[in-house]
Chain A
Amino acid sequence: MYWLQILLYGVYAYLALGLIFGLWFVFKGAEQIDGNMHGASWETRLLLLPATIALWVILLNKWLKQR
């Protein structure tokens, strides 16, 4: 099960990067890809954080394309 431990470390690293990206994205980056985020409350932004941590690669890709 050595491979499983390595795989889990990979997942943890992915999620840790997702947390860092997510905190920036929900408070800053999201408005750059979706105009409806303007004026959104901090509760709404935090509500988006869990999925941002899980799907941050998709959002990063979308953000880079729209820059």
Chain B
Amino acid sequence: MSVNYTTVQWNRQKRRYDRIMLGIMVLYLLTFTFLQLVFYPLTSPETLIIRATGTLAFIMLQFILCIGPLARLDHRFLPLLYNRRHLGVTTFLIGAVHGVFNVIQFHSLGYVDPIFSVFASNTHYASLQDFPFQVLGFFALVILFLMAATSHDFWLKNLSPRWWKSLHMLVYLAYGLLVFHVMLGVVQLEQSPMWIGFVGFGLLTLVSLHLMAAGVEKKRLLEQMDKAAVGEGFYQVCSAEDIPENRAKMVYLEGQNIAVFRYDGKVSAVNNICRHQHGPIGEGKIVDGCITCPWHGYQYLPQNGQSPPPFTEKLETYDVKIVDGMVWVNPSPYPEGTERPAAIIQA
């Protein structure tokens, strides 16, 4: 949260997350090396590094892209979202090792500029089968670099959240480039169709998860529209009993994305979009009296949408009332950080 910038805002969960991530990465690299040496004993160390880091980076990117829809489908996956930033930066670093070793091994031993060689050593740009697949990997790595390099909160603030988010949505373009990079590379250099099968399975999984998550979201919105009753600017959203303690019900009313939280026998409503990286506040929970965003732990007080001092982020707030046990929300937003009285749940 924004006071003064630090390199990494470490906490116990982040250290645990990173330790598990590094442990799995080391396990993968050791297993991959063992299998390569068993099945391809003549593999050179450079080729081994290129293959191990290339496959690891691709698997990590695939996993990162699955986390979002998985967390929407099942809240037990939410902890994976918490430190996805470190996972993304690490994916770039592993991909960079793959890229640098490739350039050293295939493009640095002649008289030509190595980067020029990446683009000019294979000029079959008009052929699908012989297309220079390394160029696709190069551009994917540039996107991953930009994402990793701008992952600090300084960039979120100074590029503006909208531009920052747009830049980071390029991850899907990077993934598409890498799918073709791997497919074409396998077609041109390998005999076994196994890798094409792996990539195809990963792509199918990713598309399926995104479609399922979109379906669940659409169903939720349609159910909510069916139930909505209107009166004096208020919409009836659910029974107070439907909201678990210290959790929220998310509603979309008149273009407003709203999270209605229940806590300490009360109900309050705030805007559902975290000021940090636009995470879904309503998928988080109330910890120590503060709404806590599930993505990176940014916190807000439920009654006024303000981050606790000395932090400065603020959310819009909304009027809430409870009539006969039903929660009603007025979607007209109050300015960010405006205190609104919580609705009391009658025993």
What residues of chain A have their CB less than 8 Å away from a CB belonging to chain B?
1, 4-5, 8, 30, 33-34, 36-41, 43-44, 47-48, 50-51, 54-55, 58-59, 62
Contacts and interface: CB of A to CB of B under 8 A. Distances in A.
Contacts of B155: 48, 51
Contacts of B120: 1, 4
Contacts of B47: none
Given A4-B119, A8-B116, A36-B157, A47 B145 contact: no
Contacts of A30: 154
Contact of B7 (A8, A34, A38, A41): A41
30 contacts: A1-B123, A5-B113, A5-B116, A8-B113, A30-B154, A34-B158, A36-B2, A36-B3, A36-B5, A36-B157, A37-B4, A37-B154, A38-B4, A39-B4, A40-B5, A40-B6, A41-B6, A41-B7, A44-B7, A47-B152, A48-B152, A48-B155, A50-B145, A50-B149, A51-B146, A51-B149, A51-B150, A54-B145, A54-B146, A55-B150
A45 to B, nearest CB: 9
B115 A8 contact: yes
Nearest to B142: A54
Contacts of B5: 36-37, 40, 44
Given A40-B5, A41-B7, A34 B145 contact: no
A42 B116 CA distance: 34
Interface in B1-32: 2-7
A58 B159 contact: yes
Contacts, number: 58
Contacts of B2: 36
A33 B113 CA distance: 38
Contacts of A58: 159
A5 B2 CA distance: 43
Contact of A1 (B3, B119, B146, B154): B119
B4 A54 contact: no
Nearest to A37: B5
A51 to B, nearest CB: 4
Contacts of B152: 44, 47-48, 51
Given A41-B6, A44-B6, A33 B116 contact: no
A38 B5 CA distance: 8
A50 B148 CA distance: 9
Interface string B105-127: 00000000101100110010000
Contacts of B116: 1, 4-5, 8
A12 to B, nearest CB: 9
Contacts of B146: 51, 54
Nearest to B113: A8
Contacts of B7: 41, 43-44, 47
Contacts of B158: 33-34, 59, 62
A46 to B, nearest CB: 9
Contacts of A5: 113, 116
Contacts of B123: 1
Nearest to A42: B7
A54 B145 CA distance: 10
Nearest to A40: B5
Contacts of A54: 145-146, 149
A54 B143 CA distance: 11
Contacts of B150: 51, 55
Nearest to B312: A36
Nearest to A1: B120
A48 B155 CA distance: 8
Given A4-B116, A33-B158, A40-B4, 17 more contacts: A1-B119, A4-B120, A5-B116, A8-B113, A34-B157, A34-B158, A36-B2, A36-B4, A36-B5, A36-B157, A37-B5, A37-B154, A39-B4, A44-B6, A47-B152, A54-B149, A62-B158
